[in-house]
Amino acid sequence: MLGAIAAFGIEASACGEPGARRRVVPSYDNFTGRLVQLSADQNGDGRLDQWTYLDGNRPMRGEADANADGRIDRWEYFNAESALVMVGTSSLDDGTEDTWTDTVPAANGEMHVARSRRRDRQHDRHEYFRGTVLVRVEEDTNADGRIDRWDRYEGPVLREAAFDTTLSGRSPDRRVLYDERGRFEHVEADPDGDGRFDRVGGEPAPPVRQPGAFE
């Protein structure tokens, strides 16, 4: 059990600043007697700041107030093997979870960060990184749960923005291309959805959103 506790970051022994006393408070299900929660005072200020929800000795979810302002600022999610797989954070640090970062890369090496720009827990923006470099973004711009915009970056430059203008949940039917300096090149369209895009003439240059911009 102590091994499991150490595995998800709760230290049961006091080893912080002199005089600081860390404590861990276990809670048990009244009916089954199983351990259901561990609460901890990690910074030794006398107030609990970390909560881990368990099924027996298996952590399922964690919350922490790491900066001791009384609001949760870190949410932890564990898989069936008790490994931390995702960390939630609050972009405004106001106690509302709106950003979720996977702790391990996908099979293709990309790291995934999901955001809820409306802050309603619906993931409407997905950012994919290689190392710390943003390589592509997927967005659900009309909040219907379906991706309808795909951005591709090279270095700091947005090279392609593709759209499903039908908002029907299919593949993109229109895309805007930019050169290696981020300048508008031209627009292409695939109205019949066969995956072949043809250049569209006479399109005005759409505004370029700065790389990594998060409105």
User: Which position among 17, 29, 69, 179 is part of the footprint of Ca ion (CB under 5 A)?
Assistant: 69
Give the x-and-dash track for 194-213 against Ca ion (CB under 5 A): --------------------
Nearer to Ca ion, 64 or 111 (CB): 64
Interaction between residue 151 and Ca ion (CB under 5 A): no
Which two structure tokens, joined as six digits, stand for 87?
Answer: 């960390």
Interaction between residue 124 and Ca ion (CB under 5 A): no
Nearer to Ca ion, 73 or 127 (CB): 73
Interaction between residue 130 and Ca ion (CB under 5 A): no
Q: Which residues between 161 and 180 bind Ca ion (CB under 5 A)?
A: none
Q: Which residues of the chain form contacts with Ca ion (CB under 5 A)?
A: 41, 43, 45, 47, 49, 65, 67, 69, 71, 73, 140, 142, 144, 146, 148
